[in-house]
A and B are shown apart, each in its own frame.
Chain A
């Protein structure tokens, strides 16, 4: 007896051990439980609450019978049980059979739509998981890519490249922890109220809509008019609802973290993005991200999409918030049924500064800005393919060359990548100073203000030719088109011209249309990049054919170059009148004057020279001149700028081969130089001079984001599995029974059975394919990333290859043992039989 009790006791202990973790399991469902719950919702016909409410409303409208939510599940699962329950709730017992039949038809159809929606979300999340830019969220690539950019990019790239630079840093959660935690706990409480029910009856429609609403930050939502909005009508109306308390709590968190940055030793710069650690609410699968600019919520792992709404009960809910009671609200404001059957309008292109394009890194993606011509290797021509087209390459922006050079590639010749090292004895003032260059530089600039400037148009700025003492005078008018705010970027533009003419004749700026367009385009690219960085370009409101044009850096440079060279001809075929663009740009700049503290006069602009302008002035001196110091931020790009400029300076100014300047190939003074023996610089194969040409970089092409093609492949696979040719829509393949009808069997019963089996045989592959679709999505995404990474890797390889060759050549420089004969001009030495004089 005792032993039996002890056994029973031990069993009880075992049960308790098993129960304890189960209790925890129920309190905070982990990811697996959530996935299992979704499967249960889909497979067990345990009708979801919102679907049940929809069916109840349908039944009530058509049959005037009020059912409970539980009745709907029973109607789907158990025909007989439903008839019993139905009979108790209505006098129209005879119609119960009909009601059950209707419910059994509607529910699976709606469940199928919801299942497809979830599968589609799962598939698309394969793409989206790694694209997160929230620090600490797992598998988020964007922060690492930001770090890579910092390590690789040169100052010259930042100034003239068309890829805007995102300066990111990490912030810590402020102390004391209890205050911070309280802020997050407040938000959690609000989010918990959006989850209705539990288990398979859990209704996440409000929470998923809130996540979709604040996924890209609460600030843009808060900027909308009224906070009390309950959304709009229609299937997707919930997407426009606002949750004021959630917004307030998000604002509280953001404000608390933003305030903590005041204590940081180094102040946050204007373009800096500070990422705070991402907070996790594990039990509801939601994270909270915060930067110094915005805050929002997102799924940790996206599982639940915003499913189409079937009932519009906004008025009912509003009524219920008062004291009128359910019976009154239910009768006066009955939920409105949203019937399906109508296709919604296709989604609009994401507007600039909205949604994904509101995110600091996401806004740099090709979905949010025009594809720059320099980033496209292949230009699409011919008719547009059928299907969705998210982006495409533009045609070349200029009719003329985009860049011209008379002495090699001019490595990092445009833009500022160096820090000031030379302290001129006298600073540049708004009047003519005429400060000559130091021994380290071929030129110096002298910015001065004037009512009218030299040049063809006295109302615009002008960069003069280098004077005999090396000074390049730059005249800045007191205002341009009535604006002083724009002078900041105008000065940067003129300083770039000074860079272009520091070691070159002034005529390269305007000797003909080709030179003018290319020189102006490059100089405007630098100033347009500053417009973009300051957010001015995004504010330019210019219309074409009734639509607002997105203005990219290249578009800006192209139109301004056209305006600058209009006297010589047309640089481009832009349908936008260049003067109109300039006017809109000035207007946008004026709008940002107080926000950015832009200059209020020409004197102000020169005295408070923009840091980007200062780096351009600092980049004027020759880099490799002996006894001259250089200083720059330690990045791979800047170091390569240094090496490149040193090599170029050597080729252009030094005597690589004794007796002649290396690039003066027409010089016949020392024709025997070509006979010099193992001279690495002269006789390498290929000639090392070729290395001065930019390496053929394999720029990553645009990813082939082509969902239509993927869908077609899937359709074809379905038809192939059924032994049929491809058809669109693929349902045509599923509905094919002619193969069976074409081979009739003698026994009608066998024929019937065979037909029904043939439909089963068709549905099986369809289900398999449907299950397979998310995996196909994963595979498709893998290929997409692999393609990008491969191209990127090859770019790296080619850069390294070119750099390695150059450095090896430097290292393997051999000094010849004999001097060339200067007596009879005969070759003094023939190194081998193959060498010829």
Chain B
């Protein structure tokens, strides 16, 4: 009976905490979340799946029985921040020589003759594959796709944090029980269970608040920088293309200059090259045996029609 009272009391406590959490958390305005959202941070193999594979060896059977579990909460933040960091570093470009500032962000020379968008970091494609809008495909991803993917990734991250915070005690209870279940025998009756539980609850609650507070401003800064750099790279690419075009133009104009050296001679040459009019060219133009004015079809000085 005492256990029942304790259970009821505990349920009330959880409900109260969840309600309080809902009102206290600085939640961003987000779309709908599901518990599956956290799969975006990757999945871990259930230890029992490994056991199953060792014992049975049937992959389809084992995966159906012990499906992959979402990445443990403790790794969400690390995974999220590391992925965004990799995308940003890939975007900035690698420094082939570690001590030089030159960053190689393009795989080859700039394309000046066609509209070619630079490919995004491979991490963008990997993340997009785990997100709902791109789950059915959508690659290859270009630099222009990086921003929407990152924004959706952030939304999912925040959603997952909010979703967890709503039922934090339940989640911790379940995880702690699972964890304890894997420990060597005898520790199941750990008398400090509630102490660990409360401590974990407090810490995770604080971590979630912290992550919700910093993730969005940080990503906003990242996107602003990426926007600026993307813009300047367009100019850099334009300038590079103008530079290449200028070299071509220089060669073409140099050839024209060579040709232009003949200009005075061309103009002067026009004079003697002209044919005389038929009535004064001293030739029989129509094979009638006569020339110039006496030629039968040359009626006057202006007659230019003799053929």
Contacts and interface: CB of A to CB of B under 8 A. Distances in A.
Contacts of A152: 246
Contacts of A122: 221, 224-225
Contacts of A441: none
Given A151-B250, A778-B228, A279 B259 contact: no
Contacts of A137: 101
Given A647-B260, A810-B263, A775 B274 contact: no
A152 B239 CA distance: 13
A44 interface: yes
A280 B95 contact: yes
Interface stretch (B7-15, B75-83, B196-204): B75-83
Contacts of A7: 47, 50, 182
Nearest to B103: A138
B277 interface: yes
Interface stretch (B56-64, B168-176, B209-217): B209-217
A321 B139 CA distance: 61
A18 B277 contact: no
B53 to A, nearest CB: 12
A139 B233 contact: yes
A778 B221 CA distance: 12
Contacts of B36: none
Contacts of A775: 224, 227
A823 B301 contact: yes
B18 to A, nearest CB: 23
Interface in B227-253: 227-229, 231-233, 235-236, 238-240, 242-243, 246-247, 249-250, 253
Interface string B73-91: 0010010011011001100
Nearest to B104: A138
Interface in A451-488: none
A18 B76 CA distance: 12
A670 to B, nearest CB: 12
A522 interface: no
A625 interface: yes
B288 interface: no
Contact of B268 (A25, A635, A655): A655
A260 interface: no
B183 to A, nearest CB: 8
Contact of B246 (A44, A151, A300): A151
A823 B298 CA distance: 15
Nearest to A822: B280
A409 B217 CA distance: 60
A700 interface: no
Nearest to B269: A815
Interface stretch (A142-150, A576-584, A606-614): A142-150
A287 B273 contact: no
Contact of B235 (A138, A147, A789, A827): A789
Interface string A6-24: 0110100000001001100
Nearest to B102: A136
A647 B81 contact: no
B2 interface: no
B148 interface: no
Given A141-B235, A818-B304, A819-B276, A282 B246 contact: no
Nearest to A14: B44
Contact of B277 (A10, A287, A818): A818
Contact of B221 (A30, A38, A129, A803): A38
B271 A655 contact: yes
The winner among A624, A639, A655, A816 for most chain B CB atoms within 10 A is: A639
B93 interface: yes
B220 interface: yes
Contact of B260 (A43, A643, A796): A643
Contact of B99 (A18, A279, A639, A655): A279
Interface in A414-430: none
A31 B246 contact: no
B222 A35 contact: yes
Given A130-B232, A148-B242, A771-B217, A643 B256 contact: yes
A646 B228 CA distance: 47
Contact of A184 (B99, B183, B231, B277): B99
A674 interface: no
Interface in A817-837: 817-819, 821, 823-824, 826-829
B238 A789 contact: yes
Given A658-B270, A778-B228, A823-B301, A639 B101 contact: no
A82 B129 CA distance: 47
B277 A821 contact: yes
B264 interface: yes
A824 B302 CA distance: 9
A369 interface: no
A649 B262 CA distance: 11
Interface in B39-59: 47, 50-51, 54
Contacts of A824: 301
A354 interface: no
A785 B235 contact: yes
A136 B222 contact: no
A827 B253 CA distance: 39
B275 interface: yes
B148 to A, nearest CB: 15
Contacts of B253: 636, 639-640, 643, 803
Given A130-B235, A151-B250, A639-B257, A813 B266 contact: yes
A362 B240 CA distance: 20
A88 to B, nearest CB: 23
B266 to A, nearest CB: 7
B182 A3 contact: no
Contact of B214 (A43, A129, A626, A823): A43
B6 interface: no
Given A40-B214, A639-B250, A826-B302, A646 B220 contact: no
Interface string A630-644: 100011100110110
Interface in A141-186: 141, 144-145, 147-148, 151-152, 181, 184
Interface in A636-693: 636, 639-640, 642-643, 646-647, 649-650, 653-656, 658
Interface in A677-734: none
A821 B95 contact: no
Contact of B231 (A39, A181, A778): A778
Contact of A778 (B92, B224, B280): B224
Nearest to A22: B78
A807 interface: yes
Contacts of B225: 31, 35, 122, 301
Interface in A268-301: 277-280, 282, 287, 300-301
B267 interface: yes
Interface in B92-137: 92-93, 95, 98-103, 105
A125 B227 CA distance: 12
Nearest to B231: A782
Given A138-B101, A655-B271, A821-B277, A826 B301 contact: yes
A278 B243 CA distance: 22
Contacts of A643: 253, 256-257, 260
B269 to A, nearest CB: 9
Contacts of B236: 130, 139, 141, 144
Interface string B182-195: 11100000000000
B5 to A, nearest CB: 31
A623 B181 CA distance: 95
A803 B259 CA distance: 13
Contact of A32 (B81, B217, B250): B81
25 contacts: A4-B182, A7-B182, A18-B78, A32-B88, A32-B222, A35-B221, A38-B218, A44-B213, A138-B101, A144-B243, A287-B101, A624-B263, A624-B264, A635-B250, A636-B246, A639-B257, A656-B270, A771-B220, A774-B221, A810-B259, A810-B266, A816-B270, A817-B274, A817-B275, A828-B304
Given A32-B89, A823-B280, 4 more contacts: A36-B214, A300-B101, A815-B270, A824-B301
